[in-house]
């Protein structure tokens, strides 16, 4: 995933933060910090939703709206 940025500022949307939450859960599973349930990944979705909610709260993104926030870039924009 690459987030576009201009002059050190990038637009971050609810979809971007959801992608980050998915990647965090994948990392946790791959590194055996958590395990998958066989029941359609129910555990994974709950953890993903909590992570997504916390990121959105930190960035003040309303997940019920299609919106973006400007975030100062500290990397090259690649996640």
Domain map of the chain by residue range? Answer: 14-64
pLDDT of 9: 74
pLDDT of 39: 63
In the chain, pLDDT over 90 holds for what percent of residues?
25
Is pTM, for the whole model, over 0.85? no
For 1-79, strand residue ranges (E) read 5-6, 9-13, 68-72
Query: Please, are residues 47 and 13 in contact by the beta-carbon 8 Å criterion?
Result: no
- Phi–psi pair at 39, nearest 5 degrees: -85, 70
pLDDT at 54 over 80: yes
pLDDT at 71 over 70: no
């Amino acid at each position: 995933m690459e987030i576009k940025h201009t002059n050190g500022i990038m637009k971050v949307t609810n979809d971007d933060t959801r992608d980050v939450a998915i990647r965090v859960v994948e990392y946790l599973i791959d590194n055996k910090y958590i395990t998958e349930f066989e029941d359609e990944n129910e555990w994974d979705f709950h953890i993903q939703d909590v992570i997504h909610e916390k990121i959105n709260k930190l960035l003040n993104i309303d997940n019920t709206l299609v919106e973006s926030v400007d975030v100062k870039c500290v990397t090259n924009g690649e996640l």
